Structure 1
């Protein structure tokens, strides 16, 4: 009986460690950002987690607008303003416009512009510069790093400036990116592939 109790306690401890690794962590820093020739006070939000997915499969998925729609589902819906819609894969050097709806039905920020600055396949990194009426600066870096055969460290780092709304936008972004990374767990668990 004692061995069974110890085994259950050990199993519970291991499960708690596994679950805590998959729970997104966040950090918010006050920073200075260049905006229209001025230096303004902004925030840097970093949200990271461990995801049980092979790095190549994660990298293929993260390059697709379809994945963005999936991980944002439930909080933000993106609708392309281009006649042809979003491409199958993001393309470096291109700028895309989208109307955003919070919770799928509340319009927010007018047209949100997303400029793909860099897609670095050798380092698994995508960098964007984004903006809309509310979020004047939304510079986003996605970084993926293999930490084993079937596991990655995933990080969203976002520089945010929205004037007097900066604090509110950052608080919303924190909730949004944690939501996205939790939805990444579904992508991993269900072996989902996007952009095909």
Structure 2
């Protein structure tokens, strides 16, 4: 199993950052253009993540299919804000991604905390995940800039 945590500071109040984390459209924004998430046909997405399982087809750069992934959403109890995706796919036995927000100054600390298990491919998948989540955090910073006065 591979585990890692990436942390960045968002110049957004925790409540505003949490509202963005809860929107599937934010996932699509922060993942692109590296990874495109397309809901499996016939599946409607809520405007705010509800607890449950959502299936997506994933595409690298929007053109190379890289399989289907279950995004399994829950909201762990906690002092601040957390959203957990306990996802999986045929290749990845466990893709446990916890987003944790904590207040810091005028903004908040944003953490991606990951545990990945993909058998013999764990190192390769985790290497890609590190790249992907660094990309996502850069996109989060860009998104936060749009909300500055």
TM-score range, shorter chain: over 0.9
Kindly report the root-mean-square deviation, in angstroms, between the aligned alpha carbons of the 2 structures.
1.6
**Runs of at least 5 residues in structure 1 that lack an aligned partner in the other structure:** 1-41
Q: Is the 1:48–1:153 Cα contact (8 Å) retained in structure 2? A: yes
Give the drift of 1:100.
Answer: 0.3
Corresponding position of 1:134 = 91
Q: Which runs of 4+ in 1 moved over 2 A?
A: 117-122
Give the drift of 1:87.
Answer: 1.3
Between the two structures, name the one with larger relative contact order (CA 8 Å, sep ≥ 6). 2
Q: Is the 2:50–2:74 Cα contact (8 Å) retained in structure 1? A: no
1:44-86 CA distance string (max 9 Å, x none): 1211111111111101000010000000011100000142432
Q: How many residues align?
A: 148
Choose from 26, 33, 46 the match for 1:74.
Answer: 33
Provide the rounded CA distance (Å) in 1 between the counterparts of 2:75 and 2:15. Answer: 18
Provide the rounded CA distance (Å) in 2 between the counterparts of 1:133 and 1:51. Answer: 34
Corresponding position of 2:147 = 191
TM-score (structure 2 length as normaliser):
0.93
Does 2:57 match 1:99?
Answer: yes
Choose from 57, 63, 67 the match for 2:22.
Answer: 63
Give the drift of 1:117.
Answer: 2.6
Corresponding position of 1:170 = 126
TM-score (structure 1 length as normaliser):
0.71
Corresponding position of 2:7 = 48
Give the drift of 1:148.
Answer: 1.3
Corresponding position of 1:23 = none
Q: Is the 1:82–1:97 Cα contact (8 Å) retained in structure 2? A: no
Report the 3-state secondary structure (helix = DSSP H, G, I; strand = E; otherwise coil) of the residue aligned with 2:75.
strand
Structure label with greater radius of gyration: 1
**Runs of at least 5 residues in structure 2 that lack an aligned partner in the other structure:** none
